[in-house]
Amino acid sequence: MINSLLTSIQKVITLSPTEIDTVTSLFKGKIYKKGDFFLEEGRICKQIGFVARGLMRFYINQDGEEKIYDFSQENEFVCNYESFLPQIPSSKNIQALEESIVYVISHADLQLFYANVRGGERFGRVAIESVFLKLLQDISSLYSETPELRYERFLKNHADLQQRLSQYHIASFVGVKPQSLSRIRKRIFTQF
């Protein structure tokens, strides 16, 4: 299972056998049952996770409603960086939608990773660059896309998630009520 984490890191940097041992000892395997929280609002995000198996949703409570703004699935990292990096309480929730196997690293151990793995800083820079890029794309999508376009983008980027998510979760991510989502779906699928 930890092999998928090592493979993911080795796509960016080379790891020596000693460094593979270091990574393996710094990341700890954890199981989250369906409904368990990786992070709850009001708490400090103390770890970054790598999803080896499973699915998590990111959501915010807004005006008494849960708004989903992201998902993390296999081979993706999971973290609320604006809580983790400055170590301040989170305003967001991260919750397992399926039983998930996640390799987590603490804030302190991540500093050891940067110090003891030769390409550690490079991996960190590349990883944070892609998080930042995704954030910018999400902001731009929020402003400039209609719900139809957001739904089409969801289908394109998360094709495999369609079967794993409820319509309620997809609607929340697209930013519409479930009834509106079925209207959008009807419009899109009758076009073909």
Interacting residues toward other proteins by CB under 8 A: 60, 62, 81-82, 85-86, 91, 114, 121-122, 124-125, 128-129, 131-133, 135-137, 139-140, 143-146
DSSP state of 11: T
The one-letter amino acid at 57 = R
Nearer to other proteins, 30 or 69 (CB): 69
Nearer to other proteins, 31 or 188 (CB): 188
Nearer to other proteins, 72 or 100 (CB): 72
Closest contact distance (angstroms) between CB of 125 and other proteins is 4
Letter string b/e over residues 51-68, b meaning 16 or more CB atoms within 10 A of that residue's CB:
bbebbbbbbeeeeeeeeb
Nearer to other proteins, 99 or 145 (CB): 145
Q: Closest by alpha carbon to 37, among 18, 57, 51?
A: 57
Closest contact distance (angstroms) between CB of 149 and other proteins is 8
Question: Phi/psi at 61 (nearest 5 deg)?
Answer: -90, 120
Closest contact distance (angstroms) between CB of 34 and other proteins is 27
For 75, residues 6+ apart whose C-beta sits below 8 A from its C-beta are 4, 8, 50, 51, 52
Closest contact distance (angstroms) between CB of 99 and other proteins is 29
